[in-house]
Structure 1
Amino acid sequence: MDSARPRSLGPRSLVAVTACWGAFLLLDRLLSGRWWFWLIPDLAPPLLFLAVPVLLLALAVVTRPSRRWLVPVVVALLLAGLPRTGLNPAALLPGRDRAPGPAFSVFSWNTEYWDTTDDPDAFYRYLRSRDADVYLLQEYLAWVQETPTRIDRLDRIRQEFPGYRVAVLGELVTLSRFPVLATPTVGAALPAGTPWEVTFARKKVLRTDVDVHGRAVSLYNVHIPVQVDTRQSVFGGDFYRTVRAADAARREQYTALESDAAANHHPLLIAGDFNTTPAMGDLSGLRARFRDARSASGDLYPGSWGGLLGSDLWRLDWAFTDRRVAVERYSFADQRGMSDHRGQQLRVALRP
């Protein structure tokens, strides 16, 4: 009897691990985007939703015949987790979306503290090299003594981008070759004279309505607040209070954005740094109503941020359009060491 125990340990452990993974998938589906604490498990690289079931499947195939029933179970778990991996099956298909209407280019990028940590001349050369009709830029600020700090680069921006219209809200900057028709407030309006620090914290969506060859188009420049403060210890209460407060701030921005975009009668494009991965439920509202530009990408796994691991394992930067805007090309640009985010490059066209 004792000699049989080691032989059964492996298969039994495989069943236990498979059950744990199934429970995690269920909890993730139920809690992601609904419970503040789940922002912490949501930090995991989305490719885990592929790697874990593939490993379990390989082990299930080679296990003893009495445990082969695990194979269809693991396949089901693999299929259940695929939408959260961030994989882009459209990259394997020929052809791209096309529209006969006017087309224009967009570059969206989290600049990581604008030009304050880079050579300013190189920074602006890089931006100009994108040659976009529209720029949606985030983190127009400096980081001074662990605090976001206001900067003023408007004169330099206008010098570097002659002919562009400039819209600024807190840390968000939108540049447009097209005439600006309006900059409607998204969410609750702040009183006149509100300090920059308050605007920075409360206003993470800049809507700019522009005239594209006679048609009004709404551009949403977005930077959803980050969910954790990596300077805090996970063993302290401040870490979890920060996560809970961040969840409330993120929900405020998502609610305002989704409500405004749903009521908008113009063709629209939404892009920016969402600090949200493909595995997170926070994007469910936008994904249900609007089209992810990912389908126009040739990358099987489009990633835009790597963090401490140094590779783009996370996609935190997103672009969405409604049905009146076709995304003809979509890719992530090399940031040339000037940011921890890659920029989003799009060519879009308006449908008649």
Structure 2
Amino acid sequence: MGIGVTTAAPVTAAGTEPKPPATARPRRWPAAVLAGAGALWLAFTVAHLALSGRWWLWLAVDAVPPLSFLLAPLALGAGAAAVRRRRRTVALLAAAALLLGAGQSGVNVRRWQGGDGPAPPDALRVFVWNTGYWDEGGETEALYRSLRDADADVYLLQEYWYEKSAGPTPATLDRLRAEFPGFQVVVAGELVTVSRLPVLRQVPLEPAGLPPAVAGAGDQWRYKTLRTDLDLGGGRVLSAYNLHLPVQLSPEHGPFDGDFYRVLREQHAQREPQWRALARDVGSNPHPVLLAGDLNTSPAMGDLRKLPDGLRDAGHAMPSLYPASWAESAGWPRWWRLDWALASPAVRVHSYRFGDAGGVSDHRPQELLVSLGDG
């Protein structure tokens, strides 16, 4: 008979029970970093709302891509969901920054409104474009191809001048007139308005208080707004404002270069009189107004508050959720909307879009279909 072997559980002496494995403590630094980043971004957003458009030095900060005011809080909110400690703090900071900054993001929340109904047969096709120093550099045929393809009734064009060479010449203007027989061509400095409709009045706005060096530098520096009153027939008049505000900073200088701040102050001194002249003229104009051009002002900039009262952005007639018209370099993403179209209540905007620059300019053209309403 075999002998059975049994095993028994080992007996542990009292007080010597094995300890459960220690649970690793959650790291504290990710939550601390997120909370710090959230506080800094919220403080930046508040400072931006308070200082943009009011302090010339903030023009440098105004260059931040507007979409940052949406993406940064969303990223902080996503980070809050991934941590345990300070989750509520980070989430509240992100929510506050989003609430305050969403309006600066450039997102076109009005796109769902749609345009102002079907266009009537007499609606005007308007083409607005910063041409990028006209046809300098051998871009003549490409420029005129883009203008012809637009098939517009009214053209509001900017940068009718050359950056690195002499021009345009009288032959340049002759070519423009030849391309548009039956149209009126109005030129003031770097601004050109070409209209199939009769021009009743043409007024380059005269800004008061320009720096003397700028005022004496030539019409292309002096005149940044060209008003033309267009005869639509039947006693109806539309005032078209062709606008190109000075750029706020120079890419040739960095923030560690003393000239960077000198240029900021000088550009501010050029921009402010132009804003005032525009608001003054539109405010006293009895006609319906269409104001369009290169404002060199992004949706994140407080300078938009200086636009004349009573005008609305035509973005409600634009299908794009994030309309952007300018990129720093060819092939780069377009993060900024610098080109705008605004209209008084009597102007109906049936459609609005940014077109293709065709390699001629770093700005996309604006294409609008507008008509006059009843009031």
Verify the 8 A CA contact 1:181 1:209 in the aligned structure 2. Answer: yes
| Equivalent position of 1:63 in the other structure | 83
Distance (whole Å) between structure 2 residues aligned to residue 244 and residue 295 of structure 1: 34
| Equivalent position of 2:3 in the other structure | none
SS of residue matched to 2:193: strand
Verify the 8 A CA contact 1:150 1:196 in the aligned structure 2. Answer: no
Paired amino acid for 1:334 = D
- Decide which moves more: 196-205 or 125-134: 196-205
Distance (whole Å) between structure 2 residues aligned to residue 348 and residue 282 of structure 1: 26
Q: How does 1:158-177 map to 2 (within 5 A)?
A: 158-177=177-196
Distance (whole Å) between structure 1 residues aligned to residue 363 and residue 370 of structure 2: 22
SS of residue matched to 1:289: coil
Q: How many residues align?
A: 344
Task: Please report the RMSD computed on the Cα atoms of aligned residues, expressed in angstroms.
Answer: 2.3
Verify the 8 A CA contact 1:141 1:151 in the aligned structure 2. Answer: no
Aligned pair partner of 1:14 in 31, 34, 47: 34
Matched, 1:140 2:160: yes
| Equivalent position of 1:98 in the other structure | 117
- Decide which moves more: 300-309 or 103-112: 300-309
Paired amino acid for 1:160 = E
Q: How big is the shift at 1:72?
A: 3.2
Distance (whole Å) between structure 1 residues aligned to residue 79 and residue 91 of structure 2: 9
315 and 66 in structure 1: CA distance in 2 versus 1, 3 angstrom threshold: closer
Q: How big is the shift at 1:94?
A: 5.9
Distance (whole Å) between structure 2 residues aligned to residue 66 and residue 108 of structure 1: 50
Gaps of 5+ in 1: none
Matched, 1:341 2:341: no
Distance (whole Å) between structure 2 residues aligned to residue 295 and residue 287 of structure 1: 18
Verify the 8 A CA contact 1:99 1:326 in the aligned structure 2. Answer: no
Distance (whole Å) between structure 1 residues aligned to residue 184 and residue 324 of structure 2: 30
Distance (whole Å) between structure 1 residues aligned to residue 29 and residue 55 of structure 2: 36
TM-score (norm: length of structure 1): 0.92
Q: How big is the shift at 1:98?
A: 2.7
Q: How big is the shift at 1:229?
A: 1.5
6 and 288 in structure 1: CA distance in 2 versus 1, 3 angstrom threshold: farther
TM-score (norm: length of structure 2): 0.86
Aligned pair partner of 1:72 in 85, 89, 92: 92
Q: How big is the shift at 1:95?
A: 3.9
Q: How big is the shift at 1:62?
A: 1.8
Deviations, residues 130-171 of structure 1 (Å, cap 9, x unaligned): 0010000000011126xx855432211110000111111100
Verify the 8 A CA contact 2:314 2:349 in the aligned structure 1. Answer: yes
| Equivalent position of 2:352 in the other structure | 330
Deviations, residues 49-82 of structure 1 (Å, cap 9, x unaligned): 1110010000112221543243233122112111
Q: How big is the shift at 1:45?
A: 0.8
Distance (whole Å) between structure 2 residues aligned to residue 183 and residue 224 of structure 1: 19
Aligned pair partner of 2:249 in 219, 228, 236: 228
| Equivalent position of 1:320 in the other structure | 342
Matched, 1:36 2:56: yes
| Equivalent position of 2:199 in the other structure | 180
Q: How big is the shift at 1:90?
A: 2.5
Q: How big is the shift at 1:121?
A: 2.2
Paired amino acid for 1:182 = R
| Equivalent position of 1:88 in the other structure | 108
Gaps of 5+ in 2: 1-22
Give the percent of matched residue pairs that are identical in Structure 1 and Structure 2.
46
| Equivalent position of 1:282 in the other structure | 303
Q: Which structure shows the bigger proportion of residues in helix conformation?
A: 1
| Equivalent position of 2:13 in the other structure | none
Q: How does 1:103-114 map to 2 (within 5 A)?
A: 103-114=123-134
Distance (whole Å) between structure 2 residues aligned to residue 287 and residue 268 of structure 1: 11
Matched, 1:350 2:372: yes
| Equivalent position of 1:121 in the other structure | 141
